[in-house]
Amino acid sequence: MVEAVWGENKSAEQIAAILKQLEAAGELGLVTRVDAAKAETVAQLLGDGCARLEHHRQSRCLIWGELPRPVPGLGQVAVLCGGTSDLAVAQEAELALQAHAVATRLLVDVGVAGLHRLLGELESLAQARVLIACAGMEGALPTVLAGLAPQPVIGVPVSVGYGVSAGGTAALHGMLASCAPGLTVVNIDNGYGAAMAALRILRSGPSHHDPGRSGT
């Protein structure tokens, strides 16, 4: 796995030094939780090398180096979220998968408040091997999705919601208490963790597009 660097509690100087070490080792650099101001400082510290640095504002991630092309044999992961408030977490998961050569598809506004939109996507979701569902409020999206789709579903509680949502705690508890069997749940706002769980699933066996796989 590409080593992710937690950037929120690191200084720009520390991040720049780590990225240089990763470059020397020939590795792709992935830094999570970096705001625009810190990203700009990191770029200044890297000097001429900043041309290889890209800040993904929505996901709050830095990429140092070129993302690999998707490997068809790994299959696709669909990342779903209820609305734009969940996008930062959803896109962190998506970018982490892309850093591992996994093809992704992002679906926004398919939460339970607009269930008809999710139902309209079920046929297209059949192309994905794993589904990641990011949801705040009561966190119902992964449960609904796991009741409709046969693939592995990974729920990501998001720290969005009024009052008793308690910074994503209600969504976390709702997902953990889900009656949908086999639902996997990661920590609050942990898009990267969801991506790595999906990657482990993808690498554990052949793609369902593999003609050599049994049809049983």
Average pLDDT over residues 136-159: 93
- Residues spanned by the domain of 158: 72-203
- Domain annotation covers residue 105: yes
Place of tokens 């969005």: 160
Closest CA to 192 of 98, 55, 68, 52: 98
Domain boundary among 45, 64, 83: 64
Token pair belonging to 81: 């979220």
Q: The domain spanning residue 142 has which CATH number?
A: 3.40.50.1970
Please tell me the total count of domains within the chain: 2
- Claim to verify: residue 31 and residue 55 sit in the same structural domain: yes
- Domain annotation covers residue 58: yes
**Per-residue pLDDT tens digits for 166-216:** 889 999 999 999 989 999 999 999 999 999 999 999 998 765 444 333 333
- Claim to verify: residue 103 and residue 198 sit in the same structural domain: yes
Give the containing element (helix H, strand E) for 106: strand 103-107
Domain boundary among 48, 64, 80: 64
pTM, 2 dp: 0.87
- Claim to verify: residue 132 and residue 186 sit in the same structural domain: yes
**Per-residue pLDDT tens digits for 14-24:** 999 999 998 88
Q: How far apart are CA 185 and CA 172, in angstroms?
A: 8
Cβ atoms of 138 and 174 within 8 Å: the answer is: yes
**Per-residue pLDDT tens digits for 81-126:** 988 889 999 999 999 999 999 999 999 988 888 888 988 888 899 9
Cβ atoms of 100 and 47 within 8 Å: the answer is: no
Pairing verdict, β 128-135 and 76-81: parallel
